Structure 1
Amino acid sequence: MNEDSSYYSYLGTDYDNNSTVDPHSIFNWYELAPTLTVYGITFVLGLTGNSLIIATTFKYRRMKNVTNVLLSSLAMSDLLLIVFCIPVKISMMVAKLFSYTWRMGGIVCKGVHYMQNLSAICSVLTLTAISLERYYAIVYPMKAKYTCTLSQAKKIVILIWILSVVLSLPTLEGQIHLPVGPTKEYRYCVKNWDNGNVWKFHELYLLFVVLVGPFCIITFSYVTICRKICKVMGKTLTLTNEQSLSRNYRSLPVDDKSATFNTCGEWSSTRKSTNQHHDTHVVQQVIFMLVIVVALFAICWTPLLVDNVLTAFGLLPHMRFGTLKYMSSAFHLLAYFNSCLNPVVYGFMSKSFRDNFLLQICFKSQSRESTFEKSLSLKRLSRMESQTRSTTIKS
């Protein structure tokens, strides 16, 4: 069996030069339905959820901070995969009902895989930038005031997209529009199997750019952040314990002035400790949410990237049958499904995103935001007045 006829064998059909029946006309419907279902769910959820993230970040002023700007860039990269790649994948699956060959031309063949890798690289670079931003904001808070600004975040987003466009260029060489069949009238959109060195380099390159390199930086950042938070929490607990011990000595004989001073000083210190504990808890929630996003990206993309490397080095066959064929399809579906998971994570773990999602879904006007902000301002003003009044009475 020559190389061209082996492609037909891979599709589950026996090629016959004298046969008048198109060998591509056989298709298993039970393979099409689950795949189309997952792609459909990913398209609907991803398009809706990521659009809401971008809309809420740029529409509401209270949502415009460095982390949310970077998260909106992550949503844009997911939308790129959803809008450009999934429709082509679905069209390709439907086309298999009539022909197993690629009928969309060489430009679309290279373009859809280029966009897929562009989305993955842009996503992981954005996650890396978020981890570094959180690292500087928590470990070096004074430096962060000047480096982690909104204008800097916008510049970083532009730089991330430029790097992603450049780093994705090797995909154009790694994907080819291959002619097959005795008359060369059929074509497949496949990896560059004929040039083994190019294929191996391409898969190792993607594994390092998308997974190994960025995740070393991300792991270092979040481990350092967790150590810093644990250290701050330890100091807060120590301060709280000291304050509770000081309360046991209130019954000692002191004059009224000293008693007033001790009581006011202790109340102020307790309030400061409580606010610090609350801020630390909020930071913990944000970090936990971001770690979940990073973990989901790794879980969804690692199987596909590792599978591609093993295939390029001949440890797995590039022509898949049975279980291996279903496994390969599942890895592709899992990577694409990641593009609709982040909005779900934000909705469950971030109250601000959840509230603004509801505002967007209910088509609330901008006046709702201004009313909300005015109410917050009034609350802050009344709190400041009450604190001033209590200080005046004590003095």
Structure 2
Amino acid sequence: VGVVGNSLIIFTICRYRRLKTTTNVFLASLASADLLLILICIPVKLARLFSYSWTLGELLCKMLYFLQALSAICSVLTLTTMSIERYYAIVYPMRAQYRCTISQARRLCAAIWLCSLVLACPVLLLQVHMEVGVRVRAYWCVRDFDSPLLWRSYETYMLVLVLLVPAGVMAAAYAAISNAIIHMMVQRRSITGKGQMANGVLLLNGSSRGRRRESEESEVRQVISMLVVVVVLFVVCWGPILVVNVLKAYGVIPAYSLTLKHVVTAADLLSYCNSCVNPVVYGFMSRNFRESFWQVLCCRRYSYQPSVSRQMSLSVTRTSILRYNADTSRVWNSRSLSSRVTYPLSYGYNVGRSAAPDGPVLIKTTPS
């Protein structure tokens, strides 16, 4: 599931132009990190469940745990960067149109991978290939027990880097995003509410405008919900093994115990499950991914047609203002005057620049 799902994500994002957005560039990077873990680390870890000896040598002992740390760090840095980028795109939407671009997202992904390579290096110092046994010789690939300070420092470092700090940043970012969305929705409804009078201005909505608003709001909820679920799953899957490693390093639980062996193994495997569930989340929660997966699996050609729901610009355009001049008793229609109130929510989608043909009508009267 993990191999097919993550490969499908990368393929569909590269193939379909409608999926080439800033958010999906980060998701492709996340899928690449998951694929790295699935193809290299999981087979070796599964083989270890049926053997008490490490037979792959010292180099692979260090590289396996290095790649595991690399995948975890790259994934969490990608998720954190996505939350910050989404926050910036919503709170500062006009700047985001020029700064939160696909090329910028690609550069950020390259920087994330380089930083992850550096941040994962400490495990090379801690992981050792040691010979054990008296009568029967065997080799283990374990943490360096002879350096308890280094062991504790590394496990604390990983807990803070992979779990505590990113979880705090992402929680704050998505809380601010939710607050900004609610504020924008309320403000827009107060402006475009049907039959609402403010300062002598009466706003009447067309039915198509209402349908478009519902479609936009549904798309907003869909994208944010999907990202939040991905973050929660990462914390749930990686949290237990990181906490267990810290407890083992500080001697709260024994480093090796037959009683706790199955608990530690389950926590270890749970961290790998995260790499397999993300494609399922995208398929269930994102309509665009669902359609693209169907196109690829059925080998069907897709003719791209821009939809209103992808134009994430909550706007009021092409307004007709009827003004009544009390002095000359004239009524004139200023259709050439275009009043635009825009609240762009760039959720990885292009900000809409076109307007619906039947926008709302503003009727302004001068008190007699």
Q: Normalising by the residue count of structure 1, what TM-score does the alignment of the two structures yield?
A: 0.74
What is the CA-CA distance between 1:276 and the residue it aligns to? Answer: 4.1
Cross-structure match for 1:332: 268
Q: Distance in 2 between matches of 1:69 and 1:385?
A: 28
Q: 8 Å contact 2:192–2:204 — kept in the other structure?
A: no
Q: For residues 277 and 178 of structure 1, do their structure 2 counterparts lie closer, same or farther at Cα, with a shift above 3 Å needed? A: same
Aligned to 1:266: 204
- What is the one-letter code of the residue matched to 1:52? L
Q: Any conservation in 2 of the 1:46–1:82 contact (CA below 8 Å)?
A: yes
Deviation at 1:374, TM superposition (A): 5.4
Q: Which amino acid aligns with 1:338?
A: N
Which of 300, 304, 308 is the matching residue for 1:373? 304
State which of 233, 236, 241 in structure 2 corresponds to 1:304. Answer: 241
Alpha-carbon distance in 2 for matches of 1:63, 1:215: 27
Higher fraction of helix? 1
* DSSP-derived class of the 1:177 partner: strand
SS for the counterpart of 1:119 is helix
Shift of 1:281: 3.0
- For 1:212 and 1:90, locate their aligned partners in 2 and report how far apart those are by CA, in whole Å: 28
Structure 1 residue ranges without an equivalent (≥5) = 1-44, 247-260
- Taking the TM superposition and a 5 Å limit, the aligned residue runs for 1:244-263 are 244=195
- 1:182-221 aligned at under 5 Å gives the runs 182=134, 185-221=137-173
Give identity over the alignment, percent. 43
Q: Which residue of 294, 298, 302 maps to 2:231?
A: 294
Q: Distance in 2 between matches of 1:314 and 1:163?
A: 31
Match of residue 292 from structure 2: 356
Q: Residue type of the partner of 2:262?
A: Y
Q: Quote the residue 1:224 is aligned against.
A: 176
**Structure 1 residue 239: Cα displacement:** 3.9
Contact 2:192-2:205 within 8 A present in 1 as well: no
Partners of 1:355 and 1:85 lie apart in 2 by 31
The aligned counterpart of 1:160 is: 112
Letter in 1 for 2:239: T
Any conservation in 1 of the 2:282–2:290 contact (CA below 8 Å)? Answer: yes
Say if 1:290 and 1:374 are closer, same or farther in 2 by CA, change over 3 A: closer
Q: SS of the residue aligned with 1:78?
A: helix
Say if 1:319 and 1:153 are closer, same or farther in 2 by CA, change over 3 A: same
* C-alpha displacement of 1:214: 1.4
Q: How does 1:1-395 map to 2 (within 5 A)?
A: 45-94=1-50, 96=51, 100-182=52-134, 185-239=137-191, 241=193, 243-244=194-195, 266-267=204-205, 272=209, 275-322=212-259, 324-364=260-300, 368-369=301-302, 372-373=303-304, 387=357
Whole-angstrom CA distance in 1 between matches of 2:274 and 2:43: 16
Deviation at 1:59, TM superposition (A): 0.5
Question: Which residue pairs with 1:8 in the alignment?
Answer: none
> In the alignment, is the contact (CA less than 8 A) between 1:207 and 1:305 conserved in 2?
yes
**Highest CA radius of gyration, 1 or 2?**
1
Distance of 1:285 and 1:222 partners within structure 2: 14
Letter in 2 for 1:335: S
1:282 Cα deviation from its structure 2 partner: 1.4
* Aligned residues of 1:236 and 1:273 also touching (Cα < 8 A): no
Q: Which residue of 2 aligns with 1:25?
A: none
Q: Residues 236 and 276 of structure 1 are in contact (CA less than 8 Å); yes or no, is this contact kept in structure 2?
A: no
Q: SS at 2:204's partner residue?
A: helix
Over 3 Å counting, the alpha-carbon distance change for 1:275 and 1:128 in structure 2 is: same
Task: Give a deviation string over 1:120-146, Cα, whole Å, max 9, x none.
Answer: 000000001110111111111011011
- Report if the CA contact (8 A) 2:65-2:123 is conserved: yes
Aligned-pair RMSD on alpha carbons? 2.5
Q: 1:376 to 1:216 in 2, by over 3 A?
A: closer
Over residues 46-102 of structure 1, what are the superposed CA-to-partner deviations in whole Å (9 max), with x where a residue is unaligned?
0010000000000011110000010010000000000110121233334x2xxx211
